[in-house]
């Protein structure tokens, strides 16, 4: 039995779950999310409406693989509609900055042109650019939303625009991410 799959998903106050066949809708203070679980998996709610239980029909490999996954996705949906998810990114580099307007994130990260990324539905971006910029104070942006997958995917798309380079550390990185730095070329001090 899947150790993750057999754990019940607790439902906090204010979260409502509607189950219709394979379709599950989770609604809470943050919004609503829906999910269609794979065949061979059963999602049920206890009589008090406080817990979701996930069971599988058999020990077939596909059912075993989907059991823990379904439980984890349902748990992420419950957390998303109550607390939400966020990813913080930092933009390092002289002259590198970002701005958000009209549902488009604009990144100026050392290219001859600015990179414009449309912000997907259900995702919000907040940009914090410090007043006095130097290499030590990066521009920061926060990606928020109720769908964990959408938040993570958009944050990764932003980071992939300009990955941090190992010599000066310029680029876009997640908050707290450590970049392994390399020493630059050492020029010979003695002529020969």
pLDDT of residue 3: 85
Residue 159: inside a domain: yes
40: left (phi over 0), alpha (psi -120 to 50) or beta: left
Report the pLDDT value the prediction gives residue 189, as an integer from 0 to 100: 60
Share of the chain above pLDDT 90, in %: 67
17 assigned to some structural domain: yes
Joined together, the tokens standing for residue 115 give 């990179």
Q: Tell me what pLDDT residue 132 has.
A: 61
pLDDT digits (tens, 9 = 90+) for 145-158: 999 999 999 999 99
Domain membership of residue 184 (yes or no) is no
Are 36 and 78 in the same domain?
Answer: yes
Q: Helix, strand or coil for residue 173?
A: strand
Identify the band that residue 79 occupies on the pLDDT scale cut at 50, 70 and 90.
very high
What's the total number of domains in the chain? 2
Task: With a cut of 70, say whether residue 191 has pLDDT above it.
Answer: no
> Who's near 36: CB < 8 A, 6+ residues apart?
22, 23, 24
- Taking CA 27 as the corner, what is the angle to CA 50 and CA 153, rounded to the nearest 5 degrees? 115
With CA atoms as reference, report the closest residue to 167 among 74, 114, 93, 100. 93
Same domain, 89 and 23: no
Q: Please report whether residue 192 resides in a domain.
A: no
For residue 94, give its domain range: 85-174
> What's 89's domain CATH number?
3.90.930.12
Residue 63's region, left for phi above 0, alpha for psi from -120 to 50, else beta, is alpha
Look up residue 143 and give its two tokens: 């990606």
What's the pLDDT score for residue 138?
Answer: 87
Torsion of CA 47, 48, 51, 53, to 10 degrees: 0
Task: Summarize pLDDT for 86-100 with one digit per residue, the tens.
Answer: 999 999 988 888 999
Please indicate, yes or no, if residue 110 is contained in any of the structural domains: yes
Is residue 143 included in any domain, yes or no? yes
> What local confidence, expressed as pLDDT, does residue 42 receive?
93
Stretch 7-23: mean pLDDT: 93
Element at 81 (helix H, strand E): helix 61-82
Whether residue 93 is found in the same domain as residue 122: yes
Same domain, 78 and 157: no
What pLDDT digit, counting tens, does each position of 96-138 carry? Answer: 889 999 999 999 998 999 999 999 999 999 998 775 655 578 8
Within a domain: 183: no
Q: Are residues 76 and 100 in the same domain?
A: no
Indicate if 93 and 50 belong to the same structural domain: no
Place of tokens 């204010």: 14
2 or 107, which is more confident: 107
């Amino acid at each position: 039995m899947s150790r993750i799959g057999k754990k019940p998903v607790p439902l906090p106050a204010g979260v409502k779950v509607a189950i219709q066949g394979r379709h599950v809708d989770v609604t809470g203070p943050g919004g609503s999310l829906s999910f269609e679980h794979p065949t061979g998996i059963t999602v049920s709610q206890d009589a008090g409406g406080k817990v979701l239980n996930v069971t599988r029909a058999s020990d077939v490999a596909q059912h075993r693989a989907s059991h823990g996954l379904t439980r984890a996705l349902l748990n992420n949906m419950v957390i998303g509609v109550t607390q939400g998810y966020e990813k913080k990114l930092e933009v390092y580099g002289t002259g590198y900055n970002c701005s958000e307007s009209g549902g488009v994130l604009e990144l100026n990260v050392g290219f001859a042109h600015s990179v414009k990324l449309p912000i997907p539905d259900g995702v919000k971006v907040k940009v914090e650019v410090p007043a006095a910029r130097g290499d030590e104070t990066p521009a920061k942006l926060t990606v928020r939303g109720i769908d964990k997958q959408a938040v993570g995917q958009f944050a990764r798309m932003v980071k992939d625009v300009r990955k941090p380079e190992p010599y000066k550390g310029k680029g876009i990185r997640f908050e707290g991410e450590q970049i392994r730095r390399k020493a630059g070329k050492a020029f010979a001090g003695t002529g020969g």
